[in-house]
Copies of this chain bind each other. A is one copy, B any other.
Amino acid sequence: MSRLGYVRRRAPRGAGRRRAEQTIAAVVCESGPRLFSDPYYARLLVACEEALTAKGLPLMLMTATPATASLTAPRLVAGAVDGVLLIGARARHPLTVTLAASGIPVRCVGRPPDDVTLPFVDADNADGGRQVAEHLLLSGRRSIAVIAGPPTLPAARDRLEGFRRTLFDAGITSVPVAYGDFTRSSGAHAAQWLLQRVPNLDAIFVASDLMAAGAIHTLIRAGRKVPDDVAVIGFGDAPIAKSMSPTLTTVRQPVEEMATLAIKLLLAALTEENGPPADSVLPTELVVRESG
């Protein structure tokens, strides 16, 4: 049957358990240091915790890098956990495949990789990339580069593809790309790499605000004025975006709404109630400040 695409529908594990005994785990596909240093996770997990607490459920949090997934997975599938919120699932991540096959209700925050079918909530990353590209084109920028996120992360790919497609449609077919891992230092290094290869660049789209802060630091040290010489646009609208100098033009994503909706989806799956539609993509919005 499974070869024809049919999957046996197992009874939700939580169905036989009272709400007061159910346990929801949020699993972040990241290392501990990144979990605690990127404000995206803080916002997302605080909102998840609030949504669960309102329903009388605590939040249990775990991390799982590809290296530690083999430690995390047995605890999740052994029956102690009734539902999983999977955050930032990546391609070729062993946990993603294990969970998809486990029968445990799983809902993703962030579109899962193409090789896995799991219901998700995401921000419209591709449209965010489109908005940035149109803004840069309208500002007259023409020598445009990208500092992208990890290519295994669908959100990072969507941001890059939405951006590149819009430039392509406008006749800009060559867009240099450097890759970072969403940390500030990776943004600084990527900007250094781009400056060496594209000395005349006049704009960089950076796939996260932390990386954008690192990139701006590199540009200023290299004697470039931001935004006069080089426009820099971030992604995420993190708290630092407003306090940086220059303040950061970026793409706002509805992090709290994503968390609340994903928890609703997951709880509906546990109780077999009709929840909100799966695969929701919430709108993103360009926030224009000083940097570009």
Contacts and interface: CB of A to CB of B under 8 A. Distances in A.
Interface of A: 20-21, 23, 25, 32-33, 36-37, 41-42, 45-46, 49-50, 53, 56-64, 68, 71-72, 74-75, 78, 80
Given A21-B74, A74-B21, A80-B80, A58 B62 contact: yes
A84 B16 CA distance: 27
A74 B20 contact: yes
Classify the interface of chain A: helix, strand, loop or mixed.
Answer: helix
A45 B75 CA distance: 19
Given A23-B80, A58-B63, 18 more contacts: A20-B74, A21-B78, A25-B60, A36-B45, A36-B46, A49-B63, A53-B71, A56-B71, A58-B62, A58-B64, A58-B68, A58-B71, A58-B72, A58-B75, A59-B63, A60-B75, A61-B61, A80-B80
Nearest to A69: B58
5 contacts: A32-B46, A36-B41, A49-B63, A58-B62, A59-B63
Given A49-B32, A75-B23, A61 B58 contact: no
Contacts of A59: 32, 62-63
A53 B68 CA distance: 7
The count of identical subunits is 2
Nearest to A57: B71
B74 A45 contact: no
Contacts of A49: 32, 63
A203 to B, nearest CB: 30
Given A58-B64, A58-B75, A61-B61, A50 B21 contact: no
A98 to B, nearest CB: 13
Contact of A45 (B32, B71, B78): B32
Contacts of A25: 60
A186 to B, nearest CB: 18
A206 B199 CA distance: 49
Contacts of A21: 74-75, 78
Contacts of A57: 71
A68 B46 CA distance: 14
Nearest to A80: B80
Contacts of A61: 60-62
Contacts of A33: 42, 46
A45 B144 CA distance: 40
A60 B23 CA distance: 12
Contacts of A37: 42
A68 B170 CA distance: 54
Contacts of A56: 71
Nearest to A71: B58
